[in-house]
Amino acid sequence: MSSPAAPASHNSQQCLKMAARSLLFPIIIIIITSTTIIFTPPTLASQPLNHLSSKRAPRFLSKHSYPIKTQLEEQQQYRYESKYFYQQLDHFSFLNLPKFPQRYLINTDHWAGPERRGPIFLYCGNEGDIEWFAVNTGFVWEIAPLFGAMVLFPEHRYYGESLPYGSREEAYKNASTLSYLTAEQALADFAVLITDLKRNLSAQACPVVLFGGSYGGMLAAWMRLKYPHVAIGALASSAPILQFEDIVPPETFYNIVSNDFKRESTSCFNTIKESWDALVSEGLKKNGLVQLTKTFHLCRELKSTEDLANWLDSAYSYLAMVDYPYPSSFMMPLPGCPIREVCKRIDGCPDGTSILERIFEGISIYYNYTGELHCFELDDDPHGLDGWNWQACTEMVMPMSSSHNASMFPTYDFNYSSYQEGCWEEFGVIPRPRWITTEFGGQDIKTALETFGSNIIFSNGLLDPWSGGSVLQNISETVVALVTEQGAHHIDLRPSTPEDPDWLVEQRETEVKLIKGWIDGYLKEKKTAFSM
C-alpha cells in the first residue's frame, strides 16, 4: 500500500475526509474500588459472520504485540543471567528421548542465601519468550529485596529459546514432535529445575513462592496443587482455571469485553455491534475487498471479510485485557484507559462518517498509536506464540460464545464438533476438552480447594474478560481472592508506576502481607522441627 496507516494522534481532518467520501456511497474478597480462529465451514466474503461455532478462545497474548517499551519501562532495568538446564523431553516415560535446553533467567543479587533460608521467587513462564514476561513482571523484581529472595524465570517449553529437537522448525514439525507441549510437562520442567537448582546450591530448605499471570497464573495455581512439596504458595493473577467445559457460561468472556466498551460509551458499543453487518455488506460489493483493503490500510489485498473480522475481534478483546489506567506497551504501545480513547475516536468523527471509517479510526488506537506503521499486516507472531494453537487444539479447550443482546460481537454458539474438525484439519489431532479438569480440577472447585488447597492468591480485575473464568471469592483462610473493580489483566504483577491508583497500591500491599505470612509460617515450622 502506498498510503500510510493513519496515526492515532492525527486530527479530525482525516475524519472529515472520510465523511465526505461516505456521502458518496462496529474473595478474602477485597473490592479495592498458522491460524488463531477457525470457521467451519470455511467462509467466503459472500457469507455472513455468524458462522462462528468453531471459534477458539482468544489468545492470552496478542499475535500483534510488539516489544516496544514506554519511556518508564525503558528506565526499568532488571539484572539477570540467562542459563540453560537440560530437561527430559517426556517426564512421564523412560524412553531414551533427546533432552532439550530450557532457558531460565536468574538473579541472586538480593538472595539471603541457603544459610538464612532465603526464599526463591519463581515465575511460571507463559506461552512466549521469557524475557518478555520478565520485563513485564516488575512486582516480583520489586519485592525480592524486601524478602531477600532469589528471582527465577524459567521459560515454558516450545517457546522462546526452549525448543526441543534443536530448532523451531523441527519442534513444530508435526503432531508427533509437538506432542510434548503440554501443561503437565511444563509443570514437571519447573519442578525438576527448581529441585535440581536447590540441591546444587544446598538450598533444599529455602521456601519457593510461585508467581504467574494469565496462563502463567494457571500454571502457578496448578503447580501449587500438584507439587505442594516443591512450593509453599502461589500468586495466580488473572488465571482463568474455570474457563473449561461448562463451569462458567461460554458467553462470559465476550460479555465482559462488551461491557468494558459500553461503560465508556453506549454509542461506541452500538457502532461496533453494527459494524459486522457493514463489513459483510461491503465485502459483497464488486471490488468490496479492494475497498476494505484501502479503508483499513492493509499491506496486502484482503482475501475475505473473515480475516479482517478476526483482526478487529482480536483488538477489542486485547483492549479489554490491557485497559490499564496508565500508558503501557505489554500488548501494543497504548495510552492510559485505551478503550476510552478508542471510543472517543469512534464517537468523535463528524456526522456522515461511515461505520467502517469510524471503526478504522478507533482501531488505530490499538494497532498504530505511535503512528509509525504505514500499513497493517493481519497476521504476525513476533513473540513465537504459535504453540498456543496446538495447546488450544489438545487440552486448552475453552468454550466461547457470543450472545445476541449483551455482546457487541457477532452472535454465535460454541460447537464442539466444528471445533474438533478444525483442529483435525490443522494438526491431525482430536481435542480432549475434559482433560484439564481431570488433571487439575475445576468442577466443584470450592470443595476441592477447600479440602486440598492452601496458600493460593487468585487476583483479578473485573475489567479483564478472563476474570469471568477465575476464582472470585474466598475459598478458605489461605485460598483467597483479591478482586478489584477497575483492574485489568494481571495489572498487579506489572511494574509499579507513579500513576498507580490507590487501590492497586493497596492490593499489592495485601499480596506482600500474605506472602510474608506464608514464608514466616514455613520458617517457624522448620525452626520447630529443627528444635525437636
Q: Which residues of 35-46 are buried (b: 16+ CB within 10 A; e: fewer)?
A: ebbbbbeebebe
Q: Which of 129, 189, 313, 464 is catalytic?
A: 464
Phi, psi of 80 (to 5 degrees): -160, 160
What sign has the CA pseudo-torsion 401, 223, 129, 172?
negative
What whole-number distance in Å separates Cα of residue 265 and Cα of residue 261?
6
Task: Show Cβ contacts of residue 367 under 8 Å, excluding neighbours closer than 6 positions.
Answer: 5, 64, 315, 332, 373, 376
Burial of residue 520 (CB within 10 Å: 0-12, 13-18, 19+) is exposed
How distant, in Å, are the alpha carbons of 107, 196, 207, 226 from that of 199? Answer: 17, 5, 13, 20
Among 51, 297, 383, 489, the active-site one is 489
Q: Considering only CA atoms, which of 288, 88, 323, 112 is closest in space to residue 205?
A: 112
- Is there a catalytic annotation at residue 214? yes
Residue with cell 459500553: 262
Q: Which helix (H) or strand (E) holds 103?
A: strand 100-107
CA torsion, ordered 269, 275, 276, 280, to nearest 10 deg: 170
Catalytically annotated residue among 53, 214, 401, 459: 214
Q: Which of 215, 180, 196, 528 is nearest to 398 (CA)?
A: 215
Question: Which residues have CB under 8 Å from 163's CB, separation 6+?
Answer: 100, 170, 171
Cβ within 8 Å of residue 87, ≥6 positions away: 99, 100, 101, 102, 157, 189, 192, 193
Please say if 489 is a catalytic residue.
yes
Catalytic residues: 214, 464, 489
